[in-house]
Chain A
Amino acid sequence: MAVTASPERDIVATPMQRATREALYAGAIALGLFVLFIGLRTDQNISNELILVQRWLLLAVVVVLTMAGRFLYVAYGQPFLANQQIVDVATGLLPESVATRFFRLPYFIAAIATVAVLVFLAGSLDGLLGPGLAGYARFLRALAIIYALASVLFYFRTFIHAHFSALGITALALYPVIVVLVLALYGGSVAAGFQGSLKWVDNFGIQILIYVMLAWGLNIVVGLAGLLDLGYVAFYAVGAYAYALLGTQYGLSFWILLPAAGAMAAFWGVLLGFPVLRLRGDYLAIVTLAFGEIIRLVLINWREVTNGSAGISGIPKVTFFGLMTFNVSDPNYIAKVFDIATSSAYYKIFLYYLILGLCLLTAFVTIRLRRMPVGRAWEALREDEIACRSLGINTTTTKLTAFATGAMFGGFAGSFFAARQGFVSPESFIFLESAIILAIVVLGGMGSLVGIAVAAMVMIGGTEVLRELDFLKQVFGPDFTPELYRMLLFGMAMVIVMLWKPRGFVGSREPTAFLKESRAVSGSFTKEGHG
């Protein structure tokens, strides 16, 4: 809540007086807001009559808590923040002094010690502390681990900043190995390591990377060319169904159908592109949205081909480039070839590296294209279409190539998705998917590959991590279902991020060429495009 006291008042009123006044205001507002929400509740009594339950005590508690919170914030919080100058207006980042005070070596050692003790006692926690306290202890352990990791990141921040892409790719490449090793150590056997890695590699790794790839594909259309596309999931669907249908009907290999699915999606991208060439802004968004819905409805209703809402199952798995397969019954099953224990984790790890490779291909092509005339033309189109035409750029083909390229990567991701799931149905290609992909692009900062990758990690990984809120049961009792609150928390986090960084995580843009030195262009100069 913004403080809107006039300057004269500020001179007269001491912080205490001001805080008291603000607290009274806040209490009045809270009372007005909650008197009907909390103070009264409609319910049914035993004979099914509607009755009003009065909860004045609860209302009083809420109002008093609000007042106390406001009082403490104005009396102590605001002066403290003002002293610290904690909010750097320009970047929205905490200044280093606060961060260095937060991340200190003694704290770091204490955190490591806590983790060590708690891990050592892991097996006997329940016995020592009882189940309630043991839950808090595990929560404390998680916090200590996060703090220790954050400290390490903070300590090496300049190095990380300088080598972000290389470090990121290395981390992604080593991720399954690390997961398997850590879990194998934890569980005491290699088989347990592979088994436990399923969740981390599949639910987190592959899931996030699919969205990274989709968002990077959409980034070409929205972030570079500035064409707002709300129906991107249609191309994802085209790719998925292309592989599903051709794979099940004709038994063609994934490695043939991957490019075919990309080409087909690109073809549909051009087909969508033609009618919407003259549309801009909101109109373009609506037509692309409609296109996405058309594709989905066709998939539902064209039963003879797509099997309708029931979807297509039994989609063949990807083979290891035709040399080995991941079907236990096959003679060249990978575990038989290498003579190792059977596990479903091999396929997931292979899929992880496959989607990682596809992501890197997308990134490579995008980076390459940005430095080529067509990529510059896309960005110029976003900045000013009329100026483009005055320079002899054919805006028709430029827009179509943007649509086609973006759609092609959507098609790749779609065929991968079909191969991974082994089952596709129209349910997977609803508008919400388009919205999530677009949200990732916007949250990451339009046009920035690194920002979008981080945003995908936060959005997809974040919603997955929020499933692990079981410790809240310790606080609110066993009836509490934390999963129900994850979308609420997630929405709040999104709002906060967009307030803090309105142009996304990476708001600046890297120039594609430079004479003397490459300086990032501030987001205040770039345009979002008009359609």
Chain B
Amino acid sequence: MSDASPSMNDAILQVEHLSMKFGGLVAIGDLSFQARRGEITALIGPNGAGKTTVFNCITGFYKPSEGMITLSRRDGSSFLLERLPNHEIPARAKVARTFQNIRLFSGMTLLENLLVAQHNKLMKASGYTVLGLFGFSGYRTASAESIDLARHWLEKADLVDRADDPAGDLPYGAQRRLEIARAMCTGPELLCLDEPAAGLNPKESMALNALLMDIKDNTGTSILLIEHDMAVVMQISDHVVVLEYGRKISDGSPHAVRTDPRVIAAYLGVEDEDVETVLTEVGDEDVIEQLDTGPDSAHGPGTSSSYLAGPVTDTVGHSEGERVTVSKGASKAGQVDARSSAAAASPAAAKQPSAAKSSAAKPATKAQVKPNTPGVSKRRGGRK
């Protein structure tokens, strides 16, 4: 499975039309983006936007419902990640990941954690255990090399003093760094970090930034990162992709994304009465329907108690380019689209993602996305 696409040689990861459905719930809808080699790409979005689902698709923990994920390695070979078995993605495609809830081998020492990460290399060196069992020297040198590599990454992560302690004994911030060091010991070309700065204090966060920049500059490993901490995202990332409700709402440099009204709306919410007035003026039927009290029967539970009796196609199927992920009008970015298109007096274009960037009219003046927005993000969906 190496249908190389040389034209995309600067993109290490190419996600095309990725969809992931869990029963009737569309967690990711038609997502396309790419991560360029040697860059730090950040994947941000409000809680529940589907970021971790994207990661799980890339690293093979989920099989995507649709779409293609292409990884091009430095040597020119490329892999379709959605077709590789779970464990071959780190082994062959050289994609390593960390987890949102840290998954270390807590009963093993730090050094052992990093040695487990070099499993495949050592397995080969030990002749799949057989030669190593009889003490052939090839395994001994490989083993010494693996310890050197582990020591190297322990030094980078500033954990070398605790190399012989159990991983479960480390403080939280150190566990995060150890997980990154462990992922790096697999020798990855793409490193996927799921909220590496979650739960870190500012000082630890700074140290993490330094570690990530060091990885990027010195190893040539590209980084794909999910993060809520905007300080980390804006400082270190070269490219930001913003998700909301499983769809991409913005894509570009950190600065461009920061000033994108759709992103601001997604994170901060929009002034309610503003939206409603604008949209009612425009005559958007969806919104008018939304404003009626009571759940809309088309997307909520039907009158029948049976799942099969309900209009399943409304929630799952494609309706000509538009995929309904949640109730209409929940997407703040969509509201911005609607409003900006209303301002441009073109009622037809209701929800086209590309239309947003060109018409960053009113909302841009409202507020910049400030660092540390988790508290602010609660404002979204504040319709009374």
A residues lining the B interface (CB < 8 Å):
365, 368-369, 372-374, 376-377, 379-380, 382-384, 386-395, 401, 509, 511-519, 521-522, 524-527
Pairwise interchain contact B111-A386, C-beta atoms closer than 8 A: no
A509 to B166: give the CA distance in the assembly, Å.
Answer: 10
Q: Across the interface, do B107 and A521 meet the contact criterion of CB distance under 8 Å?
A: yes
Number of interface residues of B (CB under 8 A): 48
Interface presence of B117 (CB below 8 A): yes
Residues B115 and A372 in contact, CB atoms below 8 Å apart? no
- Known contacts A374-B126, A392-B87, A392-B119; 9 additional CB pairs below 8 A are A372-B133, A373-B118, A373-B119, A377-B119, A384-B104, A390-B59, A393-B116, A522-B166, A526-B107
- Cross-chain contact of A383 among B87, B105, B169, B182 (Cβ < 8 A): B105
Residues of A within 8 A of B91 (CB): 392, 394
Min C-beta distance of A360 to chain B, whole Å: 15
Given contacts A384-B103, A516-B164, contact A521 B108 (CB under 8 A): yes
Q: Does B122 contact A (CB under 8 A)?
A: yes
Which chain B residues numbered 142 to 171 have a C-beta less than 8 Å away from chain A? 147, 151, 154, 160, 163-169
Contacting residues, chain B, for A512 (C-beta < 8 A): 112, 115
In the bound complex, what is the Cα–Cα distance between A394 and B91 (angstroms)? 9
Report if A515-B164 is in contact (Cβ < 8 Å); known contacts: A368-B133, A377-B116, A386-B103. Answer: yes
CB distance from A404 to the nearest CB of B (A): 11
User: What's the nearest-Cβ distance from chain B to residue A402, in Å?
Assistant: 12
Interface membership of B374, Cβ < 8 A: no
Given contacts A365-B133, A511-B111, A518-B164, contact A392 B186 (CB under 8 A): yes
A374 to B116, CA, bound (A): 9
- A168 → chain B, closest Cβ, in Å? 23
Would you call B164 and A514 a contact (CB within 8 A)? yes
Q: Are B107 and A387 in contact, with the CB atoms below 8 A?
A: no
Residues from chain B with Cβ under 8 Å of A513 in the complex: 109, 111-112, 115, 147
Residues of A within 8 A of B120 (CB): 392-393
Chain B: minimal CB distance from A237 (Å)? 27
Contacts of A390 in B (CB 8 A): 59, 61, 90, 96-97, 99, 103, 183
Complex Cα spacing A162 to B208, Å: 42
Given contacts A387-B105, A390-B59, contact A376 B119 (CB under 8 A): yes
A374 CA to B89 CA, complexed, in Å: 19
Max chain A C-beta neighbours (<10 A), residue from B89, B105, B123, B168? B105
Within 210-261 of B, Cβ neighbours of A (below 8 Å) are at none
Q: Look across to chain A and name the residue whose beta carbon is closest to the beta carbon of B89.
A: A392
Give A388 to B122 CA distance when docked, in angstroms: 15
**For residue B129, which residues in chain A have a CB less than 8 angstroms away from its CB?**
369, 372-374, 401
A525 and B107 within 8 A (CB): yes
Q: How far is the CB of B136 from chain A (nearest CB, A)?
A: 12
Give complex CA distance A394, B120 in Å. Answer: 9
CB distance from A118 to the nearest CB of B (A): 50
B165: chain A residues within 8 A (beta carbon) = 519
Instruction: Select B160's contact among A373, A380, A515, beta carbons within 8 Å.
Output: A515
A391's contact among B117, B139, B154, B167, by CB below 8 Å, is which? B117
Given contacts A512-B112, A513-B112, contact A379 B90 (CB under 8 A): no
Within the assembled complex, what's the spacing in Å between the Cα atoms of A380 and B164? 16
Residue of B nearest to A527 (CB): B107
Let me know if B108 and A516 touch, CB within 8 A.
no
Is B296 at the interface (CB under 8 A from chain A)? no
Q: Is B271 an interface residue (CB 8 A)?
A: no
The CA-CA distance from A401 to B109 in the complex, in Å, is 23
A521 near B186 with CB under 8 A, answer no
- Is B373 in contact with chain A by the CB < 8 A criterion? no
